[in-house]
Amino acid sequence: MPDARIQDSPVQLKDLHLPPPWPESLLPAIRAHLAAHPTKVVVLDDDPTGTQTVHDIPVLTEWSEAALRAELQQPGPGFYLLTNSRAFPVEEACRINREIGERLARVAAELAQDFIVISRSDSTLRGHFPEEVEALGGALSRRLPPILLCPHFEAGGRHTIGDVHYVADGDRLVPAAQTPFAQDAVFGYRSSNLREWVVEKSRGRIRPEQITSLSLDTIRTRGPQAVAEQLNLADGSVCIANAAGARDLEVIVLAALLAEARGARTIYRTGASFVATRMGLAPRPLLTGRDLTKSTGTGGLVVVGSYVPKSTEQLSRLLAAGGATPVELAVNDVLNETTATAVVAAAARTVNAQLAAGHDVVLFTSRALVTGEGSTANLGIGQRVSTALVSIVSELTAPPRYLIAKGGITSSDLATRGLGVRRALVRGQLLPGVPVWRLGAEAKFPGLDYVVFPGNVGGPDALAEAVQTLRAT
């Protein structure tokens, strides 16, 4: 195939002349291995959208030793810990990961429970890498274990080919650094080639000679045994896993299981697709209105905090479809200390009144991007805006008929701070890549089905489609 490592412009998948995928599903072999070698999978998710590929899996928003002990003893392949670390400065993200790693190591040792850890992050490469992964790995083992980097995400069209990470746009694959995600005010980057991206993100601390990769040629033609031989990695190294489909992930995961059985201790930094395969989960049909919470007399609520172009386009389509009351929260007013309290209080009154009257409501932040000087200032702006949305949701007087949170940080903050969620169950997906949580008994609205809608997922009409499905409950 052409050397995709030199690609610096959009391509079509068919033009890359890839070898065919591995000829058979390896999920049965993965499940058989997991049955013979039970190992709990603990997923640290830097925002709640990483639950978008699993079903019937718990997600915790706190990690006391008591909570970890209880969850490690539950049946099932694993669980999520929602760290929301993407919303914090790197120092706080590292502290959170270090704290979880130390507690996990202690509790698992007490229980004699084998476990592996996946640091799940954005499939478009935004997040605290490599710092928080290194903090986690060091806390778990008092060394710097090798990192397997696999950002592939099938439902979102994120593929790694020839070490270049692509984002699908229709039938084109666009190098990730040429997408709006690479322009993120906090987590922006210049490199689509993941070897160069690792060096860039580590500011040269991780050297090119410390980086290896699993090629699609090896994955697709030689299979899991050959890949497992390449996973005997040195401490402090990074291995890039190329993947362009579900079978590629199955080969990589079975190879990782074989390597783990031989004593390899790797920490995984991946997109959401890897998690489901590592847990041995097969895809489940999308949820329908019949699967969700029965209707109440109140209206439904959509909260849009994400400001990426895809979210803005989806919001515009939803508002144009009609049938919902728009409530706009002006970011500049929220950031102004003299107006913030009154603006948030007025929005909360409007939302409550409209919901009580049975009307659906779309609460959204103004679309003009407001930035500060440097990543810390930009994170601070995001936190203040998110706090305003949390305040409005905290003031809800009755459970909405449905609740959609659009954006990773938005959905995390609304769940933990607005709704008081400590433990929820991932029920499945409403749309591809859009998970639904059933909230626990401790939440403000127990049993509510909460839709976690990633900012960067779905076509132009996806948000309107989700609302249409939920209105049918």
Using alpha carbons only, give the angle 293, 299, 301 rounded to the nearest 5 degrees.
80
Confidence (pLDDT) at 295: 65
Which pTM value belongs to this model?
0.90
Q: Which two tokens stand for residue 140?
A: 């778990």
Q: How many residues make up the chain in this entry?
A: 473
Superfamily name with CATH number, domain 4-278: Putative sugar-binding, N-terminal domain (3.40.50.10840)
- Predicted confidence at residue 7, as pLDDT, reads 53
Q: What's 158's DSSP letter?
A: E
Asked if 305 contacts 472 with a C-beta cutoff of 8 angstroms, the reply is no
> What is the bridge-based pairing of β-strands 301-304 and 78-82?
unpaired
Please tell me the predicted confidence (pLDDT) of residue 456. 81
Question: Whose structure tokens read 């009257």?
Answer: 357
What pLDDT is recorded for position 1? 36
SS3 content of the chain, % helix, strand, coil (to 5): 40, 20, 40
**Residue 313, burial from CB neighbour count under 10 angstroms (0-12, 13-18, 19+):** middle
Q: How far is the C-alpha of 358 from the C-alpha of 263, rounded, in Å?
A: 58
User: Which amino acid type is present at position 82?
Assistant: L
Q: What is the pLDDT of residue 367?
A: 77
Residue whose structure tokens are 């979102």: 156
**How far apart, in Å, are the Cα atoms of 26 and each of 68, 221, 253, 289?**
31, 14, 9, 32
Write phi, then psi, for 121 (nearest 5 degrees). -140, -170
Give the dihedral sign, CA 62/66/69/74.
negative
Count of alpha carbons within 13 Å of 263, Cβ hemisphere only? 1
pLDDT in tens, the chain (473 residues): 334 444 568 998 888 889 999 999 999 999 999 999 999 999 999 988 889 999 999 999 999 999 999 999 999 999 999 998 998 999 999 999 999 999 999 999 999 999 999 999 999 999 999 999 999 999 998 788 999 999 999 988 999 999 999 999 888 999 999 999 999 888 999 999 999 999 999 999 999 999 999 999 999 999 999 999 999 999 999 999 999 999 999 999 999 999 999 999 999 999 999 999 999 998 899 998 788 876 677 999 999 988 788 899 999 999 999 999 999 998 888 888 899 899 999 999 999 999 999 999 999 998 777 667 777 777 777 788 889 999 999 999 989 999 999 988 889 899 999 999 999 999 999 999 899 999 999 999 999 999 999 888 889 999 999 999 998 76
Domain 289-471 has CATH 3.40.980.20: yes
Compute the distance between CA of residue 122 and CA of residue 128 in angstroms, rounded to an integer: 10
For 333-453, list the strands marked E by DSSP.
360-365, 403-406, 423-431, 434-439, 449-453
Domain regions of the chain by residue span: 4-278, 289-471
Q: Hey, what are 235's tokens?
A: 């401490």
Q: Would you state the torsion angle of the CA atoms of residues 214, 217, 223, 226, taken in this order, to the nearest 10 degrees?
A: -50
Contact present, 154 and 246 (Cβ < 8 Å): yes
